[in-house]
């Protein structure tokens, strides 16, 4: 494969969750192109399975879509160096109130490879223990539980469209059911 070379990277905007850059790239045919890059510190998500086999889900409003979504618990890393299993355990407890004995890595995904470097590690949590939610000040969500079959039907009916959630549910189904 021929070489691509970054000639320049300019910060266009710095946000609370992401930073937006514009790269000037020399592409193999000799042309120069401007490419957008959304820089994200990473995230972790959890497929949380109760002892009765139901999966914990969170229903929350998503501003980008202007509607509520049904998702697996997830959240951003506190910094690039934070271990994703620690972030997954934290998000599970913050969003659902549950803790778990151990986490197993199910999958790692890059959400939008054309212009974003966000990576989400998705974990499986079992042997859950109920506790108390610790939501962030700007978070409001409902915790719901569904069977795997109900969730797969929602994926196939396009009622669940969130990529990390689809990947988590379907990877869990393929590996363990």
Residue 97: domain span: 41-176
55-112: per-residue pLDDT in tens?
999 999 999 999 999 999 999 999 999 999 999 999 999 999 999 989 999 999 999 9
Examine the domain organization and report whether 55 and 21 are in the same domain.
Answer: no
- How many domains does the structure of the chain reveal? 2
Examine the domain organization and report whether 11 and 48 are in the same domain.
Answer: no
Examine the domain organization and report whether 13 and 90 are in the same domain.
Answer: no
134-165: per-residue pLDDT in tens?
887 887 899 999 999 999 999 999 999 999 99
Q: Cα–Cα distance between 46 and 125 in angstroms, integer?
A: 7
The residue from 95, 137, 144, 150 that is catalytic is 137
Examine the domain organization and report whether 75 and 138 are in the same domain.
Answer: yes
Residue 55 is part of a domain; what is its CATH number?
3.90.79.10
- Position of tokens 């042309």? 31
Radius of gyration for the alpha carbons in the chain, expressed in angstroms and rounded: 18
Examine the domain organization and report whether 18 and 59 are in the same domain.
Answer: no
Examine the domain organization and report whether 114 and 132 are in the same domain.
Answer: yes
Examine the domain organization and report whether 86 and 145 are in the same domain.
Answer: yes
Examine the domain organization and report whether 111 and 125 are in the same domain.
Answer: yes
- The pair of structure tokens assigned to 110 is 């890059």
Examine the domain organization and report whether 148 and 65 are in the same domain.
Answer: yes
29-49: per-residue pLDDT in tens?
999 999 999 999 999 999 999
Examine the domain organization and report whether 93 and 33 are in the same domain.
Answer: no
Examine the domain organization and report whether 132 and 84 are in the same domain.
Answer: yes
**Active-site residue, 101 included:** no
Examine the domain organization and report whether 58 and 30 are in the same domain.
Answer: no
């Amino acid at each position: 494969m021929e070489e691509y070379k970054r000639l320049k990277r300019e910060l266009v905007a710095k946000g609370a969750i992401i930073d937006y850059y514009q790269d000037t790239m020399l592409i193999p045919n000799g042309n120069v192109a401007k490419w957008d890059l959304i820089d994200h510190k990473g995230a972790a998500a959890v497929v949380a399975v109760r002892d009765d086999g139901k999966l914990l889900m969170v229903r929350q409003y998503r501003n980008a879509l202007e509607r509520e979504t049904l998702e697996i618990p997830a959240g951003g890393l506190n910094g690039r160096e934070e271990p994703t299993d620690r972030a997954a355990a934290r998000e599970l407890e913050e969003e659902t109130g549950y803790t778990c004995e151990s986490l197993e890595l199910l999958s790692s995904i890059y959400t939008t490879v054309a212009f974003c470097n966000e990576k989400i590690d998705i974990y499986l949590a079992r042997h859950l223990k109920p506790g108390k939610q610790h939501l962030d000040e700007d978070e409001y969500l409902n915790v719901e539980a569904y069977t795997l079959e109900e969730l797969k039907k929602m994926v196939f009916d396009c009622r669940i469209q969130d990529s990390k959630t689809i990947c988590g549910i379907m990877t869990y189904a393929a590996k363990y059911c």
